[in-house]
Amino acid sequence: MTDSSATPAKISIDNVTKVFGDERSERHTVALEDVSLHVADGEFVTLVGPSGCGKSTLLELIGGLSTPTSGTLTLDGEPITGPGLDRGIVFQQYALLPWRTAQANVELGLEIAGGLGRRERAARAREVLDLVGLDSFRDRYPHELSGGMRQRVAIARSLAYEPKVLLMDEPYAALDAQTRELLQVELLSIWERTGATVVFITHGIEEAVYLGQRVAVMTARPGRIKTVIPIELDDRHGDGDIRSTPQFTHYRHQLWELLHHEITRAARLEAEPTRPEEAVHVG
């Protein structure tokens, strides 16, 4: 793209449908249906929705780890055809290399990204491990770390090389509240410093409001974008407790209502045996 007057969104998702299994069989799952979402360069979007509504599926599509059944996904105006170093992904389940220490796992991202010498890589890895509170665990192997610590190593690995796009799938879900809040603040400061574009899935309403410039709410399966709420908070980084301000409470309540409706609907769908006319998706 050389024409900057027609700046495309950083990430464009247009009319994306994803079906798992054979559409003609009763066993198929329509995970996403006609999903469109545009994320601007440098924007921080959080994504919430009932469990099983297709959030991870959507993130995997943006990450280039799978392809849509129909519809298009582009990054900087170019079709997404596979994974790339321009997108750092943090999954719910972390894949650390068991034969590498925490430090060496973090350095791995930097080795792949290239550009830094060995000493710089080591220094940078130490820096981000400090940041996630693992300075004294640098030399431990994954099996010597708790689940929460392994997650923090994986988060450190993705933060270390500062990718242009960060895709995060409930990265803080298993952390204790204090660590989570620390890492939220840290992520915001990294985001501001690097101008990265972030898509962050969470099931925490507070987390969605605190981090997101916009919160995209998905419907129960088949997942669609139900609504996108712009979050306008005066002073996210102020000294005060932003979470107890009237603005914050308003957004939290609004999101709670939207989600509650979808979660109830999802539970009802789960309880009902699938009727044949529903199972055969016509589309």
Ligand X SMILES: Nc1ncnc2c1ncn2[C@@H]1O[C@H](COP(=O)(O)OP(=O)(O)O)[C@@H](O)[C@H]1O
Which residues make up the interface to ligand X (CB under 6 A)?
20, 29, 31, 49, 51-57, 221
Angle at 266 between CA 261 and CA 272, to 5 degrees: 130
For residue 74, the one-letter residue type is T
- Least distance to ligand X, CB of residue 99, Å: 28
Q: Which is nearer to ligand X, 112 or 271 (CB)?
A: 271
Distance CA(170)–CA(185), nearest Å, equals: 16
- Least distance to ligand X, CB of residue 52, Å: 4
Among candidates 171, 197, 199, 217, which has minimal Cα distance to 35?
217
- Least distance to Mg ion, CB of residue 267, Å: 17
Among candidates 48, 35, 49, which has minimal Cα distance to 263?
49
> Of the listed pieces 34-42, 56-64, 94-102, 239-247, which binds Mg ion according to CB under 5 A?
56-64
152 binds, among ligand X, Mg ion, none (CB under 5 to 8 A by kind): none
For residue 181, the one-letter residue type is E
- Least distance to ligand X, CB of residue 264, Å: 16
Distance in angstroms between the alpha carbons of the first and the last residue of the chain: 34
222 and 33 in contact (C-beta within 8 Å)?
yes
Q: Which two tokens stand for residue 111?
A: 């080795």
183 and 211 in contact (C-beta within 8 Å)?
no
Is 29 one of the binding residues for Mg ion (CB under 5 A)?
no
> Of the listed pieces 51-59, 68-76, 135-143, 206-214, which binds Mg ion according to CB under 5 A?
51-59
- Least distance to ligand X, CB of residue 77, Å: 26
The site that binds Mg ion (CB under 5 A) totals a number of residues, namely 2
Q: Which is nearer to ligand X, 196 or 266 (CB)?
A: 266
Q: Which is nearer to ligand X, 61 or 187 (CB)?
A: 61
Binding site for Mg ion (CB under 5 A): 55-56
